[in-house]
Chains A and B, each alone.
Chain A
Amino acid sequence: MGGAEQRRSEWLTGRVRNHSRRVFLGAAAAGSAALAGCGLLDGEPAPDPAPDPLQPLLDEALALAAAYDRAILAQPALAARLTPMAEDHRAHAAELAKVIGATPPSAAPSASAGAGAAETAATLRKAELAAQKTAVAACKAAPAARAALTGSIAACRATHAEGLR
Chain B
Amino acid sequence: MTEQLAAALAAEEAAIYAYGVIGVHLTGSDEVSRARAAEQEHRVRRDDLVARLDELKATVPAAPAAYALPFEVTDRATALDLAIHVEDGVAQAWRALLPVTENTERVEALSHLTDSAVRATRWRRIAGAVPLTLAFPGRPGA
Contact = CB atoms under 8 A, between A and B. Distances in A.
Interface residues of A, number: 29
Nearest to A147: B98
Contacts of B130: 80, 84
Nearest to B100: A144
Interface string B66-78: 0000000000000
Interface stretch (B15-23, B25-33, B34-42, B102-110): B102-110
Contact of B113 (A81, A87, A132, A151): A151
Interface stretch (A24-32, A67-75, A100-108, A156-164): A156-164
Interface string A119-160: 000000000000010001001100011011101111110111
Nearest to B116: A155
Output the residue of A91, A136, A163 with the most chain B CB within 10 A. A163
A1 B109 CA distance: 96
Contacts of A64: none
A87 B91 CA distance: 21
Given A140-B107, A158-B114, A159-B117, A151 B135 contact: no
A144 B114 CA distance: 18
Chain A interface, >50% SS class: helix
A147 B99 contact: yes
Contacts of A163: 121, 125, 132-133
A126 to B, nearest CB: 17
B116 to A, nearest CB: 8
A84 B131 contact: yes
8 contacts: A91-B136, A140-B106, A148-B96, A151-B95, A152-B135, A155-B110, A155-B137, A160-B133
The 8 lowest CB-CB distance pairs between A and B, nearest first, are A84-B131, A147-B98, A152-B136, A163-B132, A144-B99, A91-B135, A155-B137, A155-B117
